[in-house]
Amino acid sequence: MSTRRVVITGQGAVTPLGHTAAQTWAGLLAGRSAVGPIGGFEAQQFSTNFGAEVKGFVAEEHLTAEQLRAHAGAGKSTLFAMASAQQAWKQAGLGTLDDLQRRRVGVYLGAGEGTPDYTSMVAMNLAGWDADKRQSDPVRWAQSAMSLMTPAKEIEQEPNVAVAHVAELVGAMGPAMNCMTACAASTQAVGEAAAIIRRGDADMMLAGGCHSMLHPLGMTGFMRLTAMSTRRDDPSRAARPFDRTRDGFVMGEGAGILVLESLEHAQARGATVLAEIAGFGSSADAFRITDMHPDGEGARLAMASAMRQAGLDPEKPRADGRPAVDYISAHGTGTKENDTVETRAIKRLFGEQSAGLAVSSIKSMMGHLIQAAGAVELIACVQAIATGWLPPTINVSEQDPACDLDVIANEARDMNARGGVEVCLSNSFGFGGQNDSLVVRRFRS
Amino acid sequence: MRRKVAITGIGAVSALGVGMDALWAGMVEGRSGLGPIERFDPSGFASRLGGEVRGFTARDHVPKTYRKAVKVMARDIELAVAAAAEAVADAGLVTKAGAGDGAELTYPAGRLGCQIGAGLIAADTTELSIALTTSLVEEDGTERFSWARWGSETGAEPGSGGAMVNLQPLWLLKYLPNMLACHVTILHGAEGPSNTLTCGEASGLLSAGEAARVIERGDAEACFAGGAEDKLNLMAMARMHLAKRLAATGDSTDALAFCKPFDPSATGGLLGEGGSVVILEAMDEARARDGKVYAEVAGFGAGQSGLAMAGVGDGEPPEVNEGLVVAIEAALADAGVRAGDVDAIVPAAMGVAWLDTAEAGALHAVFSDRLASIPMVTTRPFVGECMAGGGALQLAVGAKMLSEQRLPARLHGSNPAEGLDAGACASRGAKFRTVLVCSTSMGGQNAAVVLRAANN
């Protein structure tokens, strides 16, 4: 069994900060907030009536007329994924695959469910209501559903359909999967895709995620859990991870997709290597359905596994005296619980080294892309390695003493005078206690 | 040398009953679990027969202290929790759930993983409709649905007294697909690598394959693996009708008349609820603790089909499911066996004519003329289409075929296409060494697992 090195050779993103990975990165370095009042639906009377929407996205600018015809039914987040995949494919210098190659290329996404078809959903539930019995009448419900629902709109909501579209776009026929591990999904997808390449089951994988829960029921689920910020008077400052006055996360939407490749495959075709996936760790809190483990045991375990696979000792400084990782892209949702627990987990794992660790949460700017968050945050880590700049956490007015890490507050940090950025750790934790971490490293042959 | 992975415990919940024994007994006796849908009045749909699990609640399968949590479990979660409990007991593992009186855990928490495939869980229509019908406002004498009213009472501060408060606070957590795994990990203290694959009917087999990889690469000693899904609810019924996957049964009560795997005249399948969770364990660890081994997970492969095969768009479906060919060939190569070594196949055989034609096309491409002499085992006529649970049930049956050295019975409402050993037959003893289990999905993901008899 081979254990091959896995590298990143392309990346694409559609986020509230821009419609490409480059635009997104520029927004992140500028410390720009993409959060504002929701325009996509009638949300004014919601306790959280703001979010980070992808604005002005036109599929025609990313995909050819022929592609759009072949993928006519694709829903919003699937189109985000296809645009991202197209960018990543192009950056990797890839074109049409021949029949043999197609079997060696796979797709692994953490794509979320599509946006419901609200017109039919609302109408059929109202029509199916038996007011006397205070329950849905199954016969009336069924009859109205069958007359109101559109087959294509329903199947496009299935979470594994984005994989089918992305695979079709490039002609991939190899291992293809979709995972839904909540907010950890696309970090998981990248990690699992890397494992598939490492084992030799594919030479290349398109990996990442896409999601939009910026719609009434998506928002409702989190409002009922009181997980979202209600800072209605100041939306652009509502996402404030690690700040003492943080009051929840802010919903975003988008996609991030990377081209992963075995090193020998990338070198054989003369591809430019952007960075190396050095380690991946997955764990479960196995604690409670609503709360994180208070000591962040699951988070620690995922980070520890990723570090071990990368051959890094979290408590030991590198030869140049700097900590084993230069930057942690925190899950950093901006809920009271997450940021405190994540801090605790980082400190438990890195011990004394945690004092010198630069940490930030780009969710402060682009919002929480839910299943797509991890892939975009990994792209930010790759960009940090490429440029030597670390993106900030904005809206930190007063850092929470319970989050006493080196939080890159409000302005991007230039690491070039300090030797640049070598190694980053990217965390994603999901409801249900799902934890995933990736270590990404500057590529050195 | 690659680390071998074994199936050491099986749990199943299906229309044939709660427990793997109930499923296996029904399949050996040739008794279908399908019948009229009784959970709700299905007469608004064309398809009114299915595979219900009667008299089942997860309350009977969790510790007393956990019973309250069953209230926030959608049916899919309940099925997975019960199957996992049975798998643990069957494997003789001591997990947190059973480690009451200081009994020692078989494996440390961080070395026990979990991968349970799931579907999109449908929200309870009554709970949702109570909220939606509270969200009407009067405008010019007519009632209109309003998201503003959903958010707050008319004229009130945003977020105060809106219709959405009719949904319980933990509403979302009842329906997140990873909640199957979440509850299982909590109950059994499984802190190791965890994942939830959502690839339709292929979810269960993909999860088993991926969990086997986790053990093989040394990231865990044992994993829960499988999948579960409840398709007997209004939303699932509606969507599957729209996707043209279901037989129009009208008022017929003869479910078997509609179950026609690999029959080009089949008009569609019937839905069910159920699933299976198995314990995958490193072979050396299982042997060291004298654990029972049902079978070895010897090979795994996955592949993607094109959009038409995935049921997406309006393209003409192909005669051969090429993505399935990729998956099967990868699994055979992974197991180090040739097509000629396969003794039996547990295919998806959904009873949907065009899907079965493409599956048979793929099997022909791999096995050529020898396919006619390889017995197939078709599970849907017994339990219906359980989507994420379906592939997992196939896996459980495949493992049992190897440990029992027996071919279960086959049920068929008519006759399969020529050249396939898939027609009605009684159960019989057999000599199986290698069994192929494969699955295709709405969405186009395909999975294949090669199971090998354990040398007990």
* CA dist., res. A216 & res. B132, Å (int): 11
Element (DSSP H or E) covering residue B310: helix B307-310
Distance CA B130, CA B124 (A): 10
Contact A259, A94 (CB under 8 A): yes
CA dihedral A243, A247, A252, A256 (to 10 degrees): 50
Residues from chain B contacting residue A290 (CB–CB below 8 Å) = 170, 173
Q: Given this model, what pLDDT does residue A203 score?
A: 98
B348/A contact by beta carbon, under 8 A: no
Q: Any idea which residue has 């202290």 for tokens?
A: B65
Contacts of A298 in chain B (CB under 8 A): 191
Q: Could you report the predicted ipTM of this complex, rounded to two decimals? A: 0.98
Residues B145, B132: contact at Cβ < 8 Å? yes
Q: Active-site residue numbers of A?
A: 183, 331, 368
Which of A180, A213, A232, A436 is best to mutate for the B interface (most B CBs within 10 A)? A180
* Residue A165 to residue B114, Cβ atoms within 8 A: no
Q: Torsion over CA of B121, B126, B131 and B136, rounded to 10 degrees?
A: 120
Q: What is the mean pLDDT of residues A343-350?
A: 98
Among the listed residues A223, A178, A185, A112, the one whose alpha carbon sits nearest the alpha carbon of residue A434: A185
- Contact, A224 vs A48, CB < 8 A? no
Domains A6-117+153-268 and A281-441 share a fold: yes
Determine whether domain A281-441 maps to CATH 3.40.50.10190: no
The rounded distance, in Å, linking the Cα atoms of A318 and A443 is: 16
User: How many angstroms separate the Cα of B346 from the Cα of each of A265, B283, B421?
Assistant: 35, 23, 11
Average pLDDT, chain A: 97
Burial of A25 (0-12, 13-18, 19+ CB in 10 A): buried
| Chain mean pLDDT for chain B | 97
- Taking the C-alpha atoms of residue A227 and residue B299, their distance in angstroms, rounded to an integer, is 43
> What superfamily in CATH does domain B5-121+176-453 come from?
Thiolase/Chalcone synthase (3.40.47.10)
Identify the three-state secondary structure at position A218.
Answer: helix
Chain B residues in contact with A131 (beta carbon < 8 A)? 133
Q: Which alpha helices (H) appear in B189-276, and where do they start and end?
A: 203-216, 234-242
Q: How would you label B100-120 residue by residue, b for 16+ Cβ within 10 Å and e otherwise?
A: eeeeebbbebbbbbbbbbbbb
Would you tell me how many other CB atoms lie within 10 Å of the CB of residue A245? 11
DSSP B375: B
Backbone angles phi, psi at A411, to 5 degrees: -130, 140
Q: What DSSP character marks residue B431?
A: -
pLDDT per residue, tens digit, chain B (456 aa), is 799 999 999 999 999 999 999 999 999 999 999 999 999 999 999 999 999 999 999 999 999 999 999 999 999 999 999 999 999 999 999 999 987 767 899 999 999 999 999 999 999 999 999 999 999 999 899 999 999 999 999 999 999 999 999 999 999 999 999 999 999 999 999 999 999 999 999 999 999 999 999 999 999 999 999 999 999 999 999 999 999 999 999 999 999 999 999 999 999 999 999 999 999 999 999 999 999 999 999 999 999 999 999 999 889 999 999 999 999 999 999 999 999 999 999 999 999 999 999 999 999 999 999 999 999 999 999 999 999 999 999 999 999 999 999 999 999 999 999 999 999 999 999 999 999 999 999 999 999 999 999 975
- Selected for mutation to probe chain B from A125, A157, A292, A436 (highest B CB count within 10 Å) is A125
Q: What are phi and psi of B61, to 5 degrees?
A: -125, 10
Nearest chain A Cα distance for residue B155, angstroms? 9
Reference B375, options B344, B397, B403; nearest CA is B344
Enumerate the domain spans of chain A: 6-117+153-268, 118-152, 281-441
pLDDT, one tens digit per residue, over A418-427 is 999 999 999 9
Q: What is the SS3 assignment for A268?
A: helix
- Of all residues in chain A, the one with the smallest CA distance to B38 is A138
Q: Helices B203-216 & B388-404, crossing angle to 10 degrees? A: 60
Q: Is A230 on the interface with B (CB under 8 A)?
A: yes
Q: What tokens appear for B156 in the block?
A: 């009130």
Q: Quickly state the pLDDT bin for A1 (edges 50, 70, 90).
A: very low
Distances (CA, A) of A433 to B86, B100, B177, B179: 23, 23, 13, 9
Q: Report which of A384, A315, A313 is spatially closest to residue A356, judged by C-alpha positions.
A: A315
pTM: 0.98
Tokens of A264: 């020998």
Q: What is the third-level CATH fold of A6-117+153-268? A: Peroxisomal Thiolase; Chain A, domain 1 (3.40.47)
Q: pLDDT above 70 covers what percent of chain A?
A: 100
Task: Provide the b/e sequence for A265-293 (b: ≥16 CB within 10 Å).
Answer: bbeeeebebbbbbbbbbbbbbbbebeebb
SS3 A375: helix
DSSP letter (8 states) at residue B97: G
Please check whether residue B72 touches A, CB under 8 A. yes
Q: Is A173 on the interface with B (CB under 8 A)?
A: yes
Distance from chain centroid for Cα B435:
18
pLDDT (mean) for A32-53 = 97
Rounded to 5°, the CA angle B135-B141-B145 comes to: 20
What is the rounded distance in angstroms from the CA atom of residue A51 to the CA atom of residue A217? Answer: 14
Summary count for chain B: helices (H), strands (E): 14, 16
**Of B62, B54, B73, B59, which is closest to residue B13 (Cα–Cα)?**
B54
Q: How far apart are CA B53 and CA B74, in angstroms?
A: 14
Pairing of strands A176-178, A406-407: unpaired
Strands A423-430 and A434-441: antiparallel
Phi, psi (degrees; rounded to nearest 5) at B39: -65, -35
- A18 vs A147: CA distance, rounded Å: 39
B109 interfaces chain A, CB cutoff of 8 Å: yes
Residues of A in contact with B322 (CB under 8 A): 173
Contacts of B130 in chain A (CB under 8 A): 134
Residue ranges, comma separated, of all CATH 3.40.47.10 domains in chain B are 5-121+176-453
Distances (CA, A) of B70 to A156, A181, A224, A349: 31, 21, 19, 34
Which of A319-323, A342-346, A439-443, B53-57 is predicted least confidently?
A: A319-323
**Between chains, do B326 and A298 touch, taking CB under 8 Å as contact?**
no
Residues 326-345 of A with CB under 8 A from B: none
pLDDT, residue B101, reads 63
Partner-chain residue, chosen from B164, B191, B441, that has the shortest CB–CB distance to A160: B441
- B304 touches B444 (CB < 8 A): yes
| Residues in chain B within 8 Å Cβ distance of A39 | none
Please give the average per-residue pLDDT across A35-55, as a whole number.
97
Residue type at A61? Answer: E
A192 CA: distance to closest CA in chain B (Å): 9
- At B1 the pLDDT is 79
